[in-house]
C-alpha cells in the first residue's frame, strides 16, 4: 500500500471517498471490490477521515489518503486533497453506492483521455440517475478549478457544477450514457454501473461473498476480518451462530438431504460438528457457514461446508459406534 512517503504518480487511479460512518466504509469496500474485478491493474485510492481502519488493508486498496484533519470535508474537498498529493494524472471518482458491472472499461477511459479535457461528467437523463456517480478528473489547473467550484456548490446545497462558457475555468467532456448508474431491475441484464439500494442486511450479504472470495483465495486473515465485522453487526452474533445452529439450519434448508437421517444420526452429526468447533480451525468455518445460512445464502454456505469436508482436524473426529 502506498503512503505519502512512498507515493508515485500513476497514470490512472480509481478514487473513493469514505469520510462518514462505518456503513459508508462497508459500502466503499464493496464498491471498490466491484471495480477491482474489472480494473485489475489500476490502483484504487480512498480518501478517508479514518486512515488506519483495518478494512483498507483487505487487498483491495492501494493508496490511503488521510482526511483526519478535516473529518467533515466534502467529496470535492477530498478529491482535491488526492489531486494535490500528485498521485495520479487522471482519476475516476466513484460514488460508494455504485457497483461496476461491465468490463468494457476502455470506453469509460476514452473521454477523459482526450487532450484538453479537465473533467468528464455523466449525461443527465432523469431523476433516476445519480449525476455524481462517476466523475473523471484530470490533474490540471482546470481540474482543480472544477473541484473548487464543486466544493463551493456543495456548500450552497447544489450538485455538480456546469461549465458556463469561457468563465468556467475548466473544459468538460461527457461519458457515454451506458455508464450512467441505474438500479438493476433484471438480475440477468445488469447495467454497466449499478446503484445498490437496500438495507444493511443486503450490504452484509455482499460482504459475506467478498469474505468467501478471500477465504477460497487462501487469504484467511483478511477473510476473518470481514467475517468478524459482519458477525459483530449482524443479529444474531457469530457466537450464537456456531455449530449448534447448523443442524436446524440444514434441516430447514435441505430437508431432502437431512430427511434420511434418523434421530440418532442427527445426534451423531451434532456431536461431530460440536467436536469440530472445539479448538479447531473448522469450528470458525462452521460458524461462517451458519452465518451464510442466516443471511439467506445457502449455496455459499454449502461451499464453506465443502471446504470443511476437505480439512484435516487437529483432534481425531469421534467415530460413531
Answer whether residue 3 is part of any domain.
no
Residue 246 — very low, low, confident or very high, per pLDDT cuts 50/70/90?
A: low
Question: Is there a single domain that holds both residue 41 and residue 171?
Answer: yes
Q: Where does 250-306 show beta strands of DSSP type E?
A: none
**pLDDT one-digit tens code per residue, 163-218:** 554 557 899 899 998 998 888 888 788 899 999 877 777 787 788 788 778 776 77
User: Which pLDDT score, from 0 to 100, does residue 95 have?
Assistant: 93
Answer with the one of 147, 174, 195 that is the final residue of a domain. Answer: 195
| Distance between CA atoms of residues 17 and 74, nearest Å | 9
User: Which pLDDT score, from 0 to 100, does residue 46 have?
Assistant: 96
Question: Is there a single domain that holds both residue 68 and residue 168?
Answer: yes
* Long-range contact pairs involving 292-299 (C-beta distance under 8 Å, separation at least 24): 292/208, 292/212, 293/246, 293/249, 293/253, 294/234, 294/236, 294/241, 294/245, 294/249, 295/201, 295/204, 295/205, 295/208, 295/234, 296/205, 297/205, 297/208, 297/209, 298/253, 298/254
More confident position, 174 or 257: 174
Question: Is there a single domain that holds both residue 86 and residue 120?
Answer: yes
162, 88 in Cβ contact below 8 A? no
Answer with the one of 167, 195, 223 that is the final residue of a domain. Answer: 195
Question: Is there a single domain that holds both residue 191 and residue 249?
Answer: no
User: Which pLDDT score, from 0 to 100, does residue 164 have?
Assistant: 53
Q: How many CB atoms lie within 10 A of CB 141?
A: 11
User: Which pLDDT score, from 0 to 100, does residue 117 have?
Assistant: 94
Q: Which residues contact 68 (CB under 8 A, 6 or more apart)?
A: 49, 50, 51
More confident position, 88 or 256: 88
Instruction: Say whether pLDDT at 153 is over 90.
Output: no
Orientation angle between helical segments 281-294 and 243-253, nearest 10 degrees? 40
Instruction: Say whether pLDDT at 69 is over 70.
Output: yes
Q: What would the mean pLDDT of 236-256 be, rounded to a whole number?
A: 56
The mean pLDDT value of the chain amounts to 77
**pLDDT one-digit tens code per residue, 220-237:** 677 767 776 776 665 544
| Distance between CA atoms of residues 28 and 34, nearest Å | 10
| Distance between CA atoms of residues 236 and 244, nearest Å | 13
More confident position, 236 or 44: 44
User: Which pLDDT score, from 0 to 100, does residue 6 have?
Assistant: 43
Q: What would the mean pLDDT of 278-292 be, rounded to a whole number?
A: 63
Answer whether residue 314 is part of any domain.
no
**pLDDT one-digit tens code per residue, 97-132:** 999 998 888 888 899 999 999 999 988 755 444 567
Question: Is there a single domain that holds both residue 85 and residue 207?
Answer: no
Residue 316 — very low, low, confident or very high, per pLDDT cuts 50/70/90?
A: very low
Bridge partners (DSSP) of residue 199 are none
Q: What would the mean pLDDT of 252-257 be, rounded to a whole number?
A: 64
Q: Number of structural domains, the chain?
A: 2
What percent of the chain has pLDDT above 90?
Answer: 32
56 exposure class (CB count in 10 Å sphere: 0-12, 13-18, 19+): buried
Instruction: Say whether pLDDT at 318 is over 50.
Output: no
Question: Is there a single domain that holds both residue 189 and residue 221?
Answer: no
Instruction: Say whether pLDDT at 74 is over 50.
Output: yes
Q: What would the mean pLDDT of 283-309 be, rounded to a whole number?
A: 71
Q: What would the mean pLDDT of 254-269 be, rounded to a whole number?
A: 66
Q: Which domain does 37 fall in, by range?
A: 10-195
Question: Is there a single domain that holds both residue 34 and residue 162?
Answer: yes
Amino acid at each position: 500500500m502506498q503512503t505519502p512517503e512512498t507515493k508515485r504518480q500513476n497514470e490512472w487511479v480509481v478514487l473513493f471517498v469514505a469520510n462518514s460512518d462505518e456503513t459508508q466504509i462497508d459500502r466503499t469496500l464493496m464498491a471498490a471490490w466491484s471495480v477491482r474485478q474489472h480494473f485489475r491493474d489500476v490502483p484504487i485510492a480512498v480518501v478517508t477521515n479514518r486512515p488506519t481502519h483495518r478494512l483498507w488493508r483487505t487487498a483491495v486498496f492501494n493508496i490511503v489518503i488521510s482526511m483526519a484533519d478535516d473529518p467533515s470535508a466534502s467529496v470535492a474537498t477530498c478529491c482535491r486533497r488526492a489531486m494535490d498529493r500528485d498521485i495520479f494524472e487522471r482519476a475516476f471518482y466513484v460514488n460508494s453506492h455504485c457497483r461496476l458491472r461491465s468490463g468494457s472499461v476502455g470506453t469509460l477511459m476514452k473521454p477523459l483521455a482526450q487532450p484538453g479535457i479537465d473533467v468528464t461528467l455523466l449525461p443527465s437523463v432523469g431523476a433516476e440517475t445519480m449525476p455524481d456517480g462517476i466523475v473523471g478528473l484530470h490533474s490540471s489547473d482546470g481540474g482543480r478549478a472544477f473541484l473548487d467550484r464543486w466544493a463551493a456548490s456543495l456548500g450552497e446545497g447544489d450538485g455538480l457544477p456546469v461549465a458556463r462558457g469561457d468563465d468556467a475555468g475548466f473544459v468538460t467532456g461527457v461519458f457515454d450514457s451506458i455508464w450512467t448508474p441505474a438500479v438493476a431491475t433484471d438480475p440477468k441484464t445488469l447495467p454497466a454501473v449499478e446503484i445498490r439500494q437496500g438495507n444493511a442486511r443486503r450490504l452484509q450479504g455482499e460482504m459475506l461473498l467478498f469474505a468467501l472470495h478471500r477465504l477460497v483465495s487462501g487469504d484467511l486473515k483478511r477473510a476473518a476480518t470481514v467475517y468478524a465485522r459482519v458477525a459483530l453487526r449482524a443479529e444474531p452474533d457469530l457466537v450464537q451462530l456456531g455449530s449448534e445452529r447448523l443442524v436446524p439450519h440444514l434441516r430447514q434448508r435441505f430437508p431432502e438431504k437431512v430427511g434420511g437421517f434418523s434421530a440418532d444420526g442427527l445426534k451423531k452429526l451434532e456431536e461431530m460438528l460440536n467436536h469440530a468447533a472445539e479448538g479447531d480451525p473448522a469450528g470458525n468455518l462452521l460458524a461462517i457457514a451458519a452465518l451464510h445460512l442466516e443471511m439467506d445464502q445457502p449455496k455459499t454456505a454449502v461451499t464453506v461446508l465443502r471446504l470443511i469436508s476437505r480439512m484435516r482436524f487437529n483432534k481425531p473426529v469421534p467415530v460413531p459406534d
